[in-house]
Structure 1
Amino acid sequence: MPPSPQGDERTSRTPLLEIVIPAFNEEERLPGGLLQLCAKLARMPFPTAVIVVDNNSTDFTAEIVSAWPQGAVPVRLIHCATPGKGAAVRAGLLATKASLVGFCDADMATGLDALDAAVGLLIAGEQVVIGSRAHACSDVENRHSTARELGAVGFRALARMIVRGVSDTQCGFKFFDGALVRQAVAGLRTPGFAFDVELLARCVGLGAAVLEIPVQWRDVPGSRFSLARHGVGILLELGSIWIRLRAESRAGAEPAWDPLLNPIGYP
């Protein structure tokens, strides 16, 4: 079936909002997540687009995105050869051109009703708007183990040493002024789970305030995070972020460039 006239008009215009989805072996969760997101974006009163970043998937993730029907919300596939969610998000954000950009997880664990609030706040002048499960008005359904919860408490304490005043750096629902985040993410050096901390710190370093908003969040089965497998690595990432940002601050220089995190050729 050919695209509707509305789809033709929307897709021919530059999107005001682009959303990045990092994806590693997401053939089971991605189709449902894309359906939800595209349905939500199609109801927005301005052009929107989605970028899915395939992060070395060995399943049919890339094929699903390549075959996705192009309607009112274009869905584009790019590839990121550097392993890690941080590397994939970085590649996706650098591929954006819209005035407003953001990223969310393939499982859509964060309810998309929060998207209206996030976009409205960005249009009103905010530069960084993030979902926060720690917000007093958030509705959170959590099935995590006690050990993982204790690990999260420790992580948040360490993250607050790097990004002060932010209660939840890790909710996978973050939206930004496009020009600001493209500048911030260019220097991102953390490829793994702790990348959000460095990204937010770099946004703050560019003069932006981080606004946390309430979300409805559901723990969706299929998360690949394991405290036993990733805990030490995350501690090392946080330490590296703290040392690197302090060194850059003292030097008063632009962040060093890491070509390993430039897998698709963006400057």
Structure 2
Amino acid sequence: MRRAGVELSVVVPVYNEERRLPGSLVGLGLALRGLAAEVIVVDNGSTDRTADVVRDQRFPVTLLHCPDRGKGAAVRAGVLAARGRFVGFCDADLAASVDALPSVLRLLRHGSDVVLGSRAHPGSQVRARHSLLRRLGAWAFRRAARSIVPGVGDTQCGFKFFTRELAVAAFEPLRTKGFTFDVEVLARLQRLGAVVEEVPVRWIDVAGSSFAPLRHGLRSFADLQRIRAVLDTEPRPVPDLVPEAA
């Protein structure tokens, strides 16, 4: 059941984020000030003081522990625990600025099914420090992901929001536990008939990411093949969670 009065739930997956998390939670709290919102921080097995950082916050933050390792597993746990009318997630470093939240919420209130922050949007401001290897890998990944989620310019920006019903329908059967989970979620949403809307973001690459281009990058391509195979074996759902246009 949805908690009375909560309109927006924001999930933040974390792993050993004691350094970056304090500032990010302050920024998130300021962005949500005046809104009927909840913040759920999902600790994915941290070995540092991440949990203590969450407990020390001056505004209410729910701390959820997810022993099942992987960003996808952590976000799934947070989404399924959320109680707001709308549910979304952002990265612990707030690389995608939360100043886009008001416009995201406005779109959801006016009937949008899914709103994604997109670095590929022509209105986005992107400051990246990625190596040539990572840029080439990202380009190849986008091309490969396009066959699974056509029409989505940026599947991996950590700034995604949904109606709660669609979020549960997409995350409950989620099989991908690692960084590529976004592709499976978006594919499931498209199969449900959701209209995916991308919005511009102000995105700044922040040092300290746990993504390793070689190790995680190769695994991500393997995940794409597995996602395609999994979806091909599942019956197509009846898209009854998306209201028909008047």
Per the TM alignment, residue 69 of structure 1 is displaced from its structure 2 partner at its CA by: 2.1
Alignment of 1:194-213 (within 5 A): 194-213=180-199
Conservation of the 8 A alpha-carbon contact between 2:191 and 2:237: no
Equivalent in 163, 167, 178 of residue 181 of structure 1: 167
State the superposition RMSD in angstroms: 1.4
1:65 aligns with 2:51: no
Per the TM alignment, residue 18 of structure 1 is displaced from its structure 2 partner at its CA by: 0.7
Alignment of 1:123-202 (within 5 A): 123-202=109-188
Per the TM alignment, residue 63 of structure 1 is displaced from its structure 2 partner at its CA by: 1.4
Equivalent in 3, 9, 27 of residue 18 of structure 1: 9
Per the TM alignment, residue 248 of structure 1 is displaced from its structure 2 partner at its CA by: 0.6
Per the TM alignment, residue 253 of structure 1 is displaced from its structure 2 partner at its CA by: 7.1
Matched residue SS, 1:64:
helix
Matched residue SS, 1:28:
coil
CA deviations on 1:56-112 (whole Å, 9 max, x unpaired) are 000011111123223xxx210001011100000000000011111100011111111
Equivalent in 112, 117, 137 of residue 98 of structure 2: 112
Structure 1 length normalisation: TM-score?
Answer: 0.86
1:102 aligns with 2:88: yes
In the alignment, the residues of structure 2 paired with residue 66 and residue 214 of structure 1 have an alpha-carbon distance, to the nearest angstrom, of 32
In the alignment, the residues of structure 1 paired with residue 97 and residue 34 of structure 2 have an alpha-carbon distance, to the nearest angstrom, of 15
Letter in 2 for 1:179: E
The equivalent residue for 2:39 is: 50
In the alignment, the residues of structure 2 paired with residue 13 and residue 39 of structure 1 have an alpha-carbon distance, to the nearest angstrom, of 22
Equivalent in 186, 196, 203 of residue 217 of structure 1: 203
CA deviations on 1:146-192 (whole Å, 9 max, x unpaired) are 11000000000111110000010000000000111111100000000
Structure 2 length normalisation: TM-score?
Answer: 0.93
In the alignment, the residues of structure 1 paired with residue 138 and residue 148 of structure 2 have an alpha-carbon distance, to the nearest angstrom, of 16
CA deviations on 1:195-247 (whole Å, 9 max, x unpaired) are 00000111111110110001100001111112112122111111110000011
In the alignment, the residues of structure 2 paired with residue 67 and residue 114 of structure 1 have an alpha-carbon distance, to the nearest angstrom, of 26
The count of residues paired between Structure 1 and Structure 2 equals 236
In the alignment, the residues of structure 2 paired with residue 111 and residue 212 of structure 1 have an alpha-carbon distance, to the nearest angstrom, of 15
The equivalent residue for 1:39 is: 30
Alignment of 1:217-236 (within 5 A): 217-236=203-222
Instruction: Spell out structure 1 runs of 4+ moving beyond 6 A.
Output: none
In the alignment, the residues of structure 2 paired with residue 93 and residue 101 of structure 1 have an alpha-carbon distance, to the nearest angstrom, of 7
In the alignment, the residues of structure 2 paired with residue 117 and residue 253 of structure 1 have an alpha-carbon distance, to the nearest angstrom, of 30
Percent identity of equivalent pairs: 52
Q: Which runs of 5 or more structure 1 residues have no equivalent in the other structure? A: 1-11, 255-267
Per the TM alignment, residue 13 of structure 1 is displaced from its structure 2 partner at its CA by: 5.1
Conservation of the 8 A alpha-carbon contact between 2:192 and 2:237: no
The equivalent residue for 1:246 is: 232
Letter in 2 for 1:39: L
Check 1:139–1:253 CA distance in 2 against 1; reply closer, same or farther (3 A cut).
closer
